[in-house]
């Protein structure tokens, strides 16, 4: 597989020429001292360098080795622990985290570019910090001040990770069917019991603690989705000073053996009377969880874009190097035995299709990220309201369209390589396998269509 090169020039073009984002930053009191064009460039260059050098080289080896489950413990592939520590030590887990709790405080438009680079380099690796960032966002918006002060700083630092525990064996899309129970304790905590499945990063060896956000029912909860509450359940119990104590009653029963993203641990999680803490109001858990889910849905769309970009880079490099046949208009490399295949019309059609979808997808994801920033940072209530409405409308579109096009783009990349695209060593077949899940998780693309038509239009 070719080396990954972060598309920093294309990102800068969107920032400075298409959307003129630095001009808006300069007019926004909450951001004017936090970020400008030079800061954005430096942040993305530094992140891109680490991602290309430390994370991208683990993509193929991680796919071949996969995660390993032994007696309830999950071991990530060789190199993941060190690369994750380097990523976290540079502050990238908390790049968009609230500064008052130790995050870097960067706007979402910057975080979106970092997500693209990380997922293009290694989607399995990128899922671990992505889930943490989403969990942090849900806590920031819905948790009590004591919970935020205790849990957000180590999560932004990357010492602790986050997970979202929604799906159960009988309840996937229809969360109203879930059965996990939450019994009130005498000290304000809750006793959580139930089984969750398809939990990304539910168990791993990258961090010293994992903070699970778990949907469960209180004893007096009404039936259906209106009776669901959200709970924070740490893997390791934490005292009031943030020190780690004894293990909570949370265990990983197994991990899934999957078509792709094999270096991402997809876990069955068992909660056997685990200690948990209510996040937000009782029976309002879906409202809080959708804060995280909508963040993740845009992130999944960006995953489709990212894999398309990685596929394009590999296909372009191959097409410039592979010699086969002659151009229809005559030899373009007469000194060589044949012309590079990039001269052939069908190869150029596929490469240009890939390039168009990637550049359009990047503009789309950046635009949605900008609307998220407007909704969060603008001082004008009307601007915030319009931005929130645009985000609500465009989130299902971004998730479904960009993942559908991501798969199409990776297939084009494989086709450019011909037979070499079908075998492992060139990396294109892995990109297709990894990309396929993006159309399925965080709500299948059919569910995104239901959301768009049933709720948004």
- Tens of pLDDT along the chain (457 residues) come to 669 999 999 999 999 999 999 999 999 999 999 999 999 999 999 999 999 999 999 999 999 999 999 999 999 999 999 999 999 999 999 999 999 999 999 999 999 999 999 999 999 999 999 999 999 999 999 999 999 999 999 999 999 999 999 999 999 889 889 999 999 999 999 999 999 999 999 999 999 999 999 999 999 999 999 999 999 999 999 999 999 999 999 999 999 999 999 999 999 999 999 999 999 999 999 888 877 777 789 999 999 999 999 999 999 999 999 999 999 999 999 999 999 999 999 999 999 999 999 999 999 999 999 999 999 999 999 999 999 999 999 999 999 999 999 999 999 999 999 999 999 999 999 999 999 999 999 999 999 999 999 999 9
Do 130 and 112 meet the contact criterion of CB atoms below 8 Å apart? Answer: no
The reported pLDDT for the residue numbered 291 is 79
Mention every residue, 6+ apart, whose C-beta is less than 8 A from residue 13.
Answer: none
pLDDT, residue 1, reads 60
> Residue 11 corresponds to which tokens in the numbers above?
């990102």
Residue range 97-131, pLDDT digits in tens: 999 999 999 999 999 999 999 999 999 999 999 99
* Contact (CB, 8 A) for 178 and 169: no
Let me know: does 120 contact 79? Beta carbons within 8 Å.
no
State the Cα–Cα distance between residues 76 and 66, nearest whole angstrom: 7
Q: Where are the domains of the chain?
A: 8-67+78-155, 160-283, 287-456
> By CB neighbour count within 10 A (0-12 exposed, 13-18 middle, 19+ buried), where does 40 fall?
buried
Query: What's the CATH architecture for 8-67+78-155?
Result: Orthogonal Bundle (1.10)
Rounded-to-integer distance, Cα 345 and Cα 357, Å: 18
Q: Which of 115, 203, 429, 442 is catalytic?
A: 442
Tokens of 147: 């919970």
What is the pLDDT, as a whole number, of residue 2?
Answer: 66
Q: Which of 301, 289, 317, 286 is nearest to 441 (CA)?
A: 301
C-alpha pair distances (Å), 193 with each of 24, 73, 116, 168: 48, 20, 36, 12
Contact indicator for 65, 132 with CB cutoff of 8 Å:
no
Instruction: Record the tokens describing residue 142, joined without a space.
Output: 């819905």
Alpha carbon distance 206, 219 (integer Å): 35
Extended strands (E) in 248-402: 250-255, 266-279
Provide the 10 A C-beta neighbour count for residue 345. 10
Q: Is 442 a catalytic residue?
A: yes
Give the 3-state secondary structure of residue 145: helix
Q: Which CATH number is 287-456 given?
A: 1.20.140.10
| Residue 371 in tokens | 């609307």
Per the CB < 8 A criterion, the answer to whether 83 and 123 are in contact is: no
Closest CA relative to residue 229, chosen from 187, 186, 175: 175
Q: Calculate the dihedral angle through the C-alpha atoms of 186, 187, 188, 194, rounding to the nearest 10 degrees.
A: -70
- What pLDDT does residue 288 have? 86
Token pair for residue 118? 């990380």
CATH of 160-283, one of 2.40.30.40, 3.40.50.2300, 2.40.110.20, 3.40.50.300: 2.40.110.20
Distance CA 83, CA 201 (A): 16
Q: Are 234 and 210 in contact (CB under 8 A)?
A: yes
Confirm if 429 and 423 have CB atoms less than 8 A apart.
Answer: yes
pTM exceeds cut of 0.85: yes
């Amino acid at each position: 597989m070719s080396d990954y090169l972060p598309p920093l020039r294309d990102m800068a073009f969107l920032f400075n020429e298409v959307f003129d984002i630095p001009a808006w930053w300069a007019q926004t009191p909450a951001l004017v001292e936090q970020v400008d064009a030079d800061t954005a460039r430096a942040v993305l260059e530094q992140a891109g360098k680490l991602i290309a050098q430390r994370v991208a080289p683990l993509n193929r080896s991680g796919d071949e080795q996969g995660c390993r489950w032994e007696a309830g413990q999950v071991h990530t592939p060789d190199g993941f622990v060190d690369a994750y520590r380097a990523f976290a030590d540079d502050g990238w887990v908390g790049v968009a985290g609230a500064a008052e709790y130790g995050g870097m405080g960067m706007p979402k438009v910057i975080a979106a570019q970092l997500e693209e680079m990380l997922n293009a380099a290694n989607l399995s690796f990128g899922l671990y910090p992505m889930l943490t960032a989403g969990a942090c966002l849900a806590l920031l918006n819905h948790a009590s001040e004591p919970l935020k002060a205790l849990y957000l700083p180590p999560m932004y630092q990357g010492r602790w990770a986050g997970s979202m525990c929604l799906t159960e064996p009988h309840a996937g899309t229809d969360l109203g069917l879930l059965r996990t129970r939450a019994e009130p304790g005498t000290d304000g905590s809750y006793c959580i019991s139930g089984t969750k499945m398809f939990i990304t990063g539910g168990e791993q060896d990258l961090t010293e603690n994992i903070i699970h956000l778990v949907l469960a029912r209180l004893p007096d909860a009404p039936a259906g989705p209106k009776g669901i509450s959200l709970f924070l359940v740490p893997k390791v119990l934490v005292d009031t000073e943030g020190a780690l104590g004894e293990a909570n009653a949370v265990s990983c029963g197994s991990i899934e053996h999957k078509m792709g993203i094999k270096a991402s641990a997809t876990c069955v999680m068992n909660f056997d009377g685990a200690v948990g803490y209510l996040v937000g109001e009782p029976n309002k858990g879906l409202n809080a969880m959708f804060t995280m889910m909508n963040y993740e849905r845009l992130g999944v769309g960006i995953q489709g874009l990212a894999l398309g970009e990685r596929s394009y880079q590999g296909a372009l490099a191959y097409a410039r190097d592979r010699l086969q046949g002659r151009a229809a208009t005559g030899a373009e490399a007469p000194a060589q035995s044949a012309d590079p295949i990039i001269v052939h019309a069908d190869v150029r059609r596929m490469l240009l299709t890939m390039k168009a979808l990637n550049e359009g997808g990047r503009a789309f994801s950046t635009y949605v990220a900008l609307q998220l920033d407007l909704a969060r940072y603008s001082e004008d209530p009307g601007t915030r309201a319009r931005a929130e409405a645009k985000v609500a409308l465009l989130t299902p579109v971004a998730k479904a369209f960009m993942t559908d096009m991501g798969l199409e783009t990776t297939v084009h990349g494989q086709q450019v390589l011909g037979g070499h695209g079908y075998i492992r060593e060139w990396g294109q077949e892995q990109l297709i396998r990894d990309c396929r899940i993006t159309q399925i998780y965080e709500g299948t693309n059919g569910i995104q269509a239901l959301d768009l038509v049933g709720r948004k239009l």
